[in-house]
Amino acid sequence: MDYNIIKEKMNKAIDNLNEKFSEVRAGRANPAILNKVKIDYYGTPTPVNQVAGVSVPEARMIVIQPWDISILKEVEKAILASDIGINPNNDGKVIRLVFPELTEERRKELVKDLKKMAEDSKIVIRNIRRDSIDSAKKSQKDGEMTEDELKGAENKIQELTDNAVKEIDKLLENKENEILSI
C-alpha cells in the first residue's frame, strides 16, 4: 500500500482549498482575485497578470497597468464581466480597483462561504480515505496482505486523514481571522 499517493491526493485537495481561499475578497486588495479573469488577447484567452503589471499600492487598491495600452478596454470589460464585484476605474493609462470596506453582515456571509468550502474539502478527504480503505480491504481479500497488515493500513490511512482535516481547519481558522479582524 503506497501511502505517499494517498497523502499526495489529500495534499492536492488542501492546495485546491488554499487557492480558493486566496481568491476570496477579504476587504484587502489581493491580486489573486484576478487569477480567473481572462481577456481575449489576439484571439487567445489570457490571464490579466500575463498582459499587465498588477500591483497593490495601498491596502485596499489594486492597480493594473497593461503593457500594451490598446488592451486597456479589453481588461476593463473582462473585469466587469467577472464576478469579483468591483467596478474598475480607468484613467486611460491604468485601471484601479478600489475595494470597499466590508460590512459586518458581508464578513459573516464570507465566513459562511469559507466554512462550506472547507467542508467540501473535508468530504473530498473522507472520500479519499474511503477509497483507500476499500482498496486495502480488496488487497486483503485477494490474499496480498494479512488481517494485521489491513488493520495497520487502516490506522495509517486514518492518521493521514486526521492530519489533512487538521490542516483544513487551520487554513479555515486563519482565513476566518483575516476576514473578521479587518
The total domain count for the chain is 2
The pLDDT of residue 181 is 74
One-letter-per-residue 3-state SS of the chain: CCHHHHHHHHHHHHHHHHHHHHCCCCCCCCHHHHCCCEEEECCEEEEHHHCEEEEEEECCEEEEEECCHHHHHHHHHHHHHCCCCCCEEECCCCEEEECCCCCHHHHHHHHHHHHHHHHHHHHHHHHHHHHHHHHHHHHHHCCCCCHHHHHHHHHHHHHHHHHHHHHHHHHHHHHHHHHHCC
The proportion of the chain whose per-residue pLDDT surpasses 90, expressed as a percent, equals: 32
CB distance 21 to 52 below 8 Å: no
133 shares a domain with 64:
no
Assess whether 18 and 58 both reside in one domain: no
121-141 pLDDT, tens digit each: 999 999 999 999 999 999 988
What domain range includes position 13?
3-22+103-180
Q: Are residues 136 and 94 in the same domain?
A: no
pLDDT in tens, 80-126: 887 777 788 888 888 888 877 777 887 888 888 899 999 999 999 99
The answer on 107 and 69 residing in a single domain is: no
- State the pLDDT at residue 182: 60
Residues above pLDDT 70, as percent of the chain: 97
